[in-house]
Protein backbone atom coordinates (compact mmCIF):
# COMPACT_ATOMS: atom_id res chain seq x y z
CA UNK A 1 0.00 0.00 0.00
CA UNK A 2 1.26 3.47 -0.88
CA UNK A 3 0.08 6.66 0.81
CA UNK A 4 0.83 10.29 -0.01
CA UNK A 5 1.51 12.25 3.19
CA UNK A 6 1.28 16.05 3.15
CA UNK A 7 2.95 17.64 6.18
CA UNK A 8 1.90 21.21 7.04
CA UNK A 9 3.23 21.69 10.59
CA UNK A 10 0.93 22.06 13.59
CA UNK A 11 1.35 20.32 16.93
CA UNK A 12 1.81 16.95 15.22
CA UNK A 13 4.78 18.54 13.44
CA UNK A 14 6.21 20.38 16.44
CA UNK A 15 8.62 20.00 19.32
CA UNK A 16 8.69 21.54 22.78
CA UNK A 17 11.57 23.86 23.67
CA UNK A 18 11.32 24.62 27.36
CA UNK A 19 7.78 25.93 27.78
CA UNK A 20 7.23 26.80 24.11
CA UNK A 21 5.82 24.66 21.29
CA UNK A 22 7.25 25.45 17.86
CA UNK A 23 7.13 23.80 14.46
CA UNK A 24 9.99 21.48 13.59
CA UNK A 25 10.54 20.09 10.07
CA UNK A 26 12.22 17.04 11.63
CA UNK A 27 8.95 16.07 13.35
CA UNK A 28 7.66 14.64 10.08
CA UNK A 29 10.50 12.13 9.91
CA UNK A 30 10.01 11.39 13.60
CA UNK A 31 6.32 10.54 13.05
CA UNK A 32 7.08 8.13 10.22
CA UNK A 33 9.95 6.58 12.20
CA UNK A 34 7.64 6.01 15.17
CA UNK A 35 5.04 4.45 12.89
CA UNK A 36 7.53 2.04 11.31
CA UNK A 37 8.99 1.18 14.72
CA UNK A 38 5.60 0.19 16.14
CA UNK A 39 3.69 -1.04 13.08
CA UNK A 40 6.30 -2.19 10.58
CA UNK A 41 7.31 -1.06 7.13
CA UNK A 42 4.53 -2.63 5.06
CA UNK A 43 3.21 0.80 4.01
CA UNK A 44 5.14 3.03 1.61
CA UNK A 45 4.87 6.74 2.40
CA UNK A 46 5.57 9.47 -0.16
CA UNK A 47 6.20 12.74 1.69
CA UNK A 48 5.52 16.35 0.68
CA UNK A 49 6.02 19.50 2.79
CA UNK A 50 4.29 22.44 1.03
CA UNK A 51 4.39 24.56 4.22
CA UNK A 52 5.36 24.47 7.88
CA UNK A 53 3.18 26.55 10.19
CA UNK A 54 1.06 26.48 13.30
CA UNK A 55 -2.53 26.25 12.13
CA UNK A 56 -3.62 29.35 14.03
CA UNK A 57 -1.50 31.27 11.52
CA UNK A 58 -3.33 29.74 8.55
CA UNK A 59 -5.53 31.70 6.16
CA UNK A 60 -7.76 30.39 3.35
CA UNK A 61 -4.68 30.67 1.13
CA UNK A 62 -3.57 27.42 2.79
CA UNK A 63 -6.63 25.66 1.37
CA UNK A 64 -5.62 26.72 -2.14
CA UNK A 65 -2.01 25.65 -1.50
CA UNK A 66 -3.08 22.20 -0.36
CA UNK A 67 -5.46 21.72 -3.27
CA UNK A 68 -2.67 22.58 -5.70
CA UNK A 69 -0.18 20.33 -3.92
CA UNK A 70 -2.51 17.33 -3.98
CA UNK A 71 -3.72 17.83 -7.55
CA UNK A 72 -0.11 18.13 -8.74
CA UNK A 73 0.44 14.49 -7.79
CA UNK A 74 -0.29 11.46 -9.92
CA UNK A 75 -2.94 10.18 -7.54
CA UNK A 76 -3.40 6.88 -9.36
CA UNK A 77 -0.12 5.82 -7.72
CA UNK A 78 -1.63 6.04 -4.23
CA UNK A 79 -4.26 4.31 -2.14
CA UNK A 80 -4.97 7.44 -0.13
CA UNK A 81 -3.77 10.83 1.08
CA UNK A 82 -3.01 11.90 4.65
CA UNK A 83 -2.68 15.59 5.54
CA UNK A 84 -1.14 16.42 8.91
CA UNK A 85 -2.46 19.70 10.33
CA UNK A 86 -2.64 21.76 13.48
CA UNK A 87 -5.69 21.22 15.64
CA UNK A 88 -6.76 24.87 16.14
CA UNK A 89 -8.10 25.49 12.64
CA UNK A 90 -8.41 21.87 11.56
CA UNK A 91 -12.22 21.99 11.07
CA UNK A 92 -11.95 24.90 8.61
CA UNK A 93 -9.31 23.19 6.46
CA UNK A 94 -11.24 19.92 6.70
CA UNK A 95 -14.39 21.52 5.34
CA UNK A 96 -12.54 23.44 2.64
CA UNK A 97 -10.71 20.37 1.32
CA UNK A 98 -13.92 18.34 1.48
CA UNK A 99 -15.42 20.88 -0.92
CA UNK A 100 -12.41 21.58 -3.14
CA UNK A 101 -11.30 17.93 -3.47
CA UNK A 102 -14.64 16.15 -3.38
CA UNK A 103 -13.86 14.52 -6.74
CA UNK A 104 -10.77 12.64 -5.48
CA UNK A 105 -11.12 8.93 -6.30
CA UNK A 106 -9.52 7.91 -3.00
CA UNK A 107 -9.79 8.72 0.72
CA UNK A 108 -8.30 11.97 2.04
CA UNK A 109 -7.73 11.88 5.80
CA UNK A 110 -6.66 14.89 7.86
CA UNK A 111 -4.93 14.21 11.17
CA UNK A 112 -3.76 16.33 14.09
CA UNK A 113 -2.40 15.78 17.58
CA UNK A 114 -3.40 17.03 21.01
CA UNK A 115 0.24 17.18 22.17
CA UNK A 116 3.62 17.08 20.41
CA UNK A 117 4.90 13.60 19.60
CA UNK A 118 7.47 13.63 22.41
CA UNK A 119 4.72 13.98 25.03
CA UNK A 120 3.44 10.71 26.50
CA UNK A 121 -0.12 12.12 26.33
CA UNK A 122 0.07 12.66 22.57
CA UNK A 123 -2.48 10.93 20.35
CA UNK A 124 -0.66 11.98 17.18
CA UNK A 125 0.73 8.54 16.34
CA UNK A 126 -2.61 6.88 17.16
CA UNK A 127 -4.41 9.30 14.84
CA UNK A 128 -1.89 8.69 12.06
CA UNK A 129 -2.28 4.94 12.53
CA UNK A 130 -6.07 5.24 12.33
CA UNK A 131 -5.74 7.25 9.12
CA UNK A 132 -3.60 4.50 7.58
CA UNK A 133 -6.12 1.87 8.70
CA UNK A 134 -9.05 3.84 7.30
CA UNK A 135 -7.32 4.05 3.93
CA UNK A 136 -6.40 0.35 4.10
CA UNK A 137 -10.04 -0.57 4.78
CA UNK A 138 -10.92 0.48 1.21
CA UNK A 139 -14.47 1.18 2.35
CA UNK A 140 -14.67 4.96 1.88
CA UNK A 141 -13.64 7.80 -0.37
CA UNK A 142 -13.84 11.55 0.21
CA UNK A 143 -12.55 13.65 3.09
CA UNK A 144 -12.42 12.50 6.72
CA UNK A 145 -10.74 13.23 10.02
CA UNK A 146 -9.71 10.74 12.68
CA UNK A 147 -9.02 11.74 16.27
CA UNK A 148 -8.60 9.58 19.36
CA UNK A 149 -10.57 10.79 22.38
CA UNK A 150 -9.47 10.67 26.01
CA UNK A 151 -11.04 7.21 26.40
CA UNK A 152 -9.01 5.73 23.56
CA UNK A 153 -11.87 5.64 21.04
CA UNK A 154 -10.60 6.37 17.53
CA UNK A 155 -13.39 8.53 16.16
CA UNK A 156 -13.94 9.01 12.43
CA UNK A 157 -15.55 12.28 11.33
CA UNK A 158 -16.92 13.46 8.02
CA UNK A 159 -14.50 16.30 7.32
CA UNK A 160 -17.20 18.85 6.50
CA UNK A 161 -18.97 18.22 9.82
CA UNK A 162 -15.99 18.57 12.16
CA UNK A 163 -16.38 21.29 14.79
CA UNK A 164 -13.70 23.07 16.81
CA UNK A 165 -12.27 21.27 19.82
CA UNK A 166 -13.18 22.49 23.26
CA UNK A 167 -10.47 24.20 25.30
CA UNK A 168 -10.92 22.08 28.44
CA UNK A 169 -10.54 18.57 26.99
CA UNK A 170 -9.07 19.28 23.55
CA UNK A 171 -11.78 17.08 22.05
CA UNK A 172 -13.48 17.59 18.71
CA UNK A 173 -17.12 16.96 17.95
CA UNK A 174 -19.25 16.33 14.90
CA UNK A 175 -22.00 18.73 13.89
CA UNK A 176 -25.18 17.00 14.97
CA UNK A 177 -23.20 15.12 17.68
CA UNK A 178 -23.08 11.94 15.58
CA UNK A 179 -19.69 10.61 14.48
CA UNK A 180 -19.43 8.94 11.10
CA UNK A 181 -17.82 5.89 12.71
CA UNK A 182 -14.72 4.64 14.48
CA UNK A 183 -11.59 2.60 13.89
CA UNK A 184 -11.79 -0.53 16.02
CA UNK A 185 -9.33 -3.40 15.91
CA UNK A 186 -7.88 -1.99 12.71
CA UNK A 187 -11.29 -1.98 11.00
CA UNK A 188 -13.64 0.84 10.10
CA UNK A 189 -16.98 0.53 11.88
CA UNK A 190 -19.70 2.71 10.38
CA UNK A 191 -22.10 4.44 12.76
CA UNK A 192 -25.48 3.56 11.30
CA UNK A 193 -27.61 6.60 12.06
CA UNK A 194 -30.23 8.64 10.15
CA UNK A 195 -27.88 11.65 10.09
CA UNK A 196 -25.06 9.70 8.43
CA UNK A 197 -24.68 8.83 4.77
CA UNK A 198 -23.88 5.19 4.10
CA UNK A 199 -20.34 4.11 3.15
CA UNK A 200 -21.77 3.27 -0.28
CA UNK A 201 -23.07 6.83 -0.63
CA UNK A 202 -19.76 8.47 0.26
CA UNK A 203 -18.00 6.18 -2.23
CA UNK A 204 -20.02 7.41 -5.20
CA UNK A 205 -18.00 9.45 -7.68
CA UNK A 206 -18.51 13.20 -7.43
CA UNK A 207 -17.75 15.82 -10.10
CA UNK A 208 -15.03 18.36 -9.49
CA UNK A 209 -16.41 21.57 -8.03
CA UNK A 210 -14.37 23.92 -10.25
CA UNK A 211 -12.55 23.33 -13.52
CA UNK A 212 -9.74 25.65 -12.47
CA UNK A 213 -7.72 25.66 -9.26
CA UNK A 214 -9.28 27.74 -6.53
CA UNK A 215 -7.47 30.89 -5.36
CA UNK A 216 -8.07 33.09 -2.34
CA UNK A 217 -8.44 36.85 -2.86
CA UNK A 218 -11.66 38.05 -1.22
CA UNK A 219 -12.23 37.85 2.52
CA UNK A 220 -15.54 37.01 4.14
CA UNK A 221 -16.54 38.66 7.41
CA UNK A 222 -17.76 36.10 9.96
CA UNK A 223 -19.30 37.07 13.31
CA UNK A 224 -20.67 35.21 16.32
CA UNK A 225 -23.41 36.72 18.52
CA UNK A 226 -23.13 37.31 22.24
CA UNK A 227 -25.24 39.33 24.69
CA UNK A 228 -24.29 42.98 24.32
CA UNK A 229 -22.59 42.80 20.91
CA UNK A 230 -22.43 46.46 19.86
CA UNK A 231 -22.44 46.68 16.08
CA UNK A 232 -21.35 50.32 16.19
CA UNK A 233 -17.90 49.03 17.12
CA UNK A 234 -17.64 47.46 13.65
CA UNK A 235 -16.48 50.03 11.13
CA UNK A 236 -16.89 48.67 7.62
CA UNK A 237 -14.47 51.06 5.95
CA UNK A 238 -13.55 48.25 3.56
CA UNK A 239 -16.58 46.10 2.91
CA UNK A 240 -16.15 42.37 2.22
CA UNK A 241 -18.26 40.76 -0.47
CA UNK A 242 -20.14 38.63 2.02
CA UNK A 243 -21.05 38.44 5.68
CA UNK A 244 -21.67 35.24 7.64
CA UNK A 245 -23.39 35.83 10.95
CA UNK A 246 -23.70 32.88 13.28
CA UNK A 247 -26.90 32.50 15.31
CA UNK A 248 -27.81 31.09 18.67
CA UNK A 249 -28.97 27.45 18.61
CA UNK A 250 -32.63 28.46 18.16
CA UNK A 251 -31.71 30.37 14.98
CA UNK A 252 -32.00 33.70 16.79
CA UNK A 253 -30.00 36.84 17.48
CA UNK A 254 -30.73 40.20 19.09
CA UNK A 255 -33.23 42.37 17.19
CA UNK A 256 -33.74 45.17 19.74
CA UNK A 257 -31.72 48.23 20.75
CA UNK A 258 -30.14 51.03 18.74
CA UNK A 259 -26.68 49.48 18.72
CA UNK A 260 -27.42 45.81 19.49
CA UNK A 261 -29.92 44.87 16.77
CA UNK A 262 -28.54 42.52 14.16
CA UNK A 263 -31.44 43.52 11.92
CA UNK A 264 -30.10 47.07 11.64
CA UNK A 265 -26.56 45.81 11.01
CA UNK A 266 -27.77 43.48 8.25
CA UNK A 267 -29.57 46.30 6.49
CA UNK A 268 -26.46 48.47 6.73
CA UNK A 269 -24.34 45.68 5.24
CA UNK A 270 -26.79 45.06 2.41
CA UNK A 271 -26.82 48.80 1.61
CA UNK A 272 -23.07 48.46 1.01
CA UNK A 273 -23.65 45.66 -1.49
CA UNK A 274 -22.66 42.84 0.86
CA UNK A 275 -24.33 39.46 0.60
CA UNK A 276 -25.56 38.47 4.08
CA UNK A 277 -25.92 34.89 5.32
CA UNK A 278 -27.24 33.51 8.61
CA UNK A 279 -26.33 30.10 10.04
CA UNK A 280 -27.49 27.76 11.18
CA UNK A 281 -31.23 27.70 10.65
CA UNK A 282 -32.85 24.47 11.79
CA UNK A 283 -34.69 23.48 8.61
CA UNK A 284 -36.99 24.98 6.04
CA UNK A 285 -40.54 25.14 7.34
CA UNK A 286 -39.67 25.00 11.05
CA UNK A 287 -41.64 27.14 13.48
CA UNK A 288 -39.53 30.26 14.10
CA UNK A 289 -39.22 32.80 16.85
CA UNK A 290 -40.33 36.34 16.00
CA UNK A 291 -36.69 37.41 16.19
CA UNK A 292 -35.79 34.84 13.51
CA UNK A 293 -38.59 36.14 11.30
CA UNK A 294 -37.29 39.68 11.74
CA UNK A 295 -33.83 38.56 10.62
CA UNK A 296 -35.24 36.94 7.49
CA UNK A 297 -37.23 40.07 6.66
CA UNK A 298 -33.92 41.93 6.14
CA UNK A 299 -33.32 39.79 3.07
CA UNK A 300 -30.42 37.85 4.60
CA UNK A 301 -30.06 34.28 3.33
CA UNK A 302 -30.52 31.45 5.86
CA UNK A 303 -28.15 28.47 5.71
CA UNK A 304 -29.84 25.34 6.99
CA UNK A 305 -28.34 22.68 9.27
CA UNK A 306 -24.67 23.46 8.72
CA UNK A 307 -21.88 24.17 11.20
CA UNK A 308 -20.27 27.58 11.51
CA UNK A 309 -16.91 26.21 10.36
CA UNK A 310 -18.30 24.55 7.24
CA UNK A 311 -20.49 27.57 6.45
CA UNK A 312 -17.48 29.90 6.63
CA UNK A 313 -15.30 27.67 4.45
CA UNK A 314 -18.10 27.17 1.93
CA UNK A 315 -18.92 30.87 1.77
CA UNK A 316 -15.27 31.85 1.35
CA UNK A 317 -14.87 29.36 -1.48
CA UNK A 318 -18.12 30.44 -3.15
CA UNK A 319 -17.12 34.13 -3.19
CA UNK A 320 -13.60 33.47 -4.48
CA UNK A 321 -14.53 31.78 -7.75
CA UNK A 322 -16.18 32.90 -10.98
CA UNK A 323 -17.48 29.64 -12.47
CA UNK A 324 -20.78 29.52 -10.57
CA UNK A 325 -23.14 31.95 -8.93
CA UNK A 326 -22.08 32.04 -5.26
CA UNK A 327 -25.72 31.87 -4.22
CA UNK A 328 -26.23 28.63 -6.15
CA UNK A 329 -23.22 27.00 -4.51
CA UNK A 330 -24.51 27.94 -1.08
CA UNK A 331 -27.81 26.20 -1.84
CA UNK A 332 -26.10 22.89 -2.61
CA UNK A 333 -24.97 20.21 -0.19
CA UNK A 334 -21.49 19.60 -1.58
CA UNK A 335 -19.71 17.24 0.80
CA UNK A 336 -22.27 15.99 3.35
CA UNK A 337 -21.92 19.26 5.28
CA UNK A 338 -25.70 19.76 5.58
CA UNK A 339 -27.59 17.48 7.91
CA UNK A 340 -30.71 15.80 6.54
CA UNK A 341 -33.98 17.13 7.89
CA UNK A 342 -34.75 14.70 10.68
CA UNK A 343 -36.34 15.63 13.98
CA UNK A 344 -34.19 13.77 16.50
CA UNK A 345 -36.25 15.02 19.43
CA UNK A 346 -39.19 12.73 18.62
Average pLDDT by consecutive 10-residue portion of the chain (346 residues)? Answer: 94 71 73 93 94 92 97 97 96 98 97 89 95 97 96 97 93 96 97 97 96 93 97 88 96 96 96 95 83 96 96 98 96 96 63
Residue 204's CB: how many other CB atoms inside 10 A?
Answer: 10
CA dist list (Å): 276 to 59, 247, 305: 21, 13, 17
pLDDT at 33: 92
Q: Which residues contact 295 (CB under 8 A, 6 or more apart)?
A: 247, 252, 253, 255, 262, 263, 266, 278
Q: What is the DSSP letter of 236?
A: -
3-state secondary structure of 47: strand
Residue 271 dihedral angles phi and psi, to the nearest 5°: -65, -20
pLDDT at 346: 46
- Please count the helices (runs of H) and the strands (runs of E) in the chain: 9, 16
Residue 228's CB: how many other CB atoms inside 10 A?
Answer: 9
pLDDT at 27: 72
Whether residue 280 is preceded by a cis peptide bond, meaning omega within 30 degrees of 0, is: yes
**In terms of DSSP bridges, do strands 187-190 and 162-163 run parallel, antiparallel, or are they unpaired?**
unpaired
The Cα–Cα gap between 262 and 10 comes to: 36
Mind giving me the DSSP string for 296-320? HTTTPEEEES--HHHHHHHHHHHTT
pLDDT at 24: 65
The Cα–Cα gap between 28 and 121 comes to: 18
pTM: 0.95
pLDDT at 343: 63
pLDDT at 306: 96
The 10s digit of each residue's pLDDT in 120-154 is 899 999 999 999 999 999 999 999 999 999 999 99
Strand partners, 80: 3
Amino acid sequence: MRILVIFTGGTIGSTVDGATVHTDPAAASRLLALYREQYGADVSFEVRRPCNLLSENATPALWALLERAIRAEKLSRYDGVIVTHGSDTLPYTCAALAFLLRDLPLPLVLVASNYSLGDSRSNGLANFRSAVELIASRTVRGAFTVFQDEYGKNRVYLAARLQEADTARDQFSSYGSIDFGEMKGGKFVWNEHPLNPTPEAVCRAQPRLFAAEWTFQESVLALRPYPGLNYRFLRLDSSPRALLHYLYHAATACTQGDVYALTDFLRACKSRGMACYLAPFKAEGDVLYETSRALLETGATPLYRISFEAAYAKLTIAYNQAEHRPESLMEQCIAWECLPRIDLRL
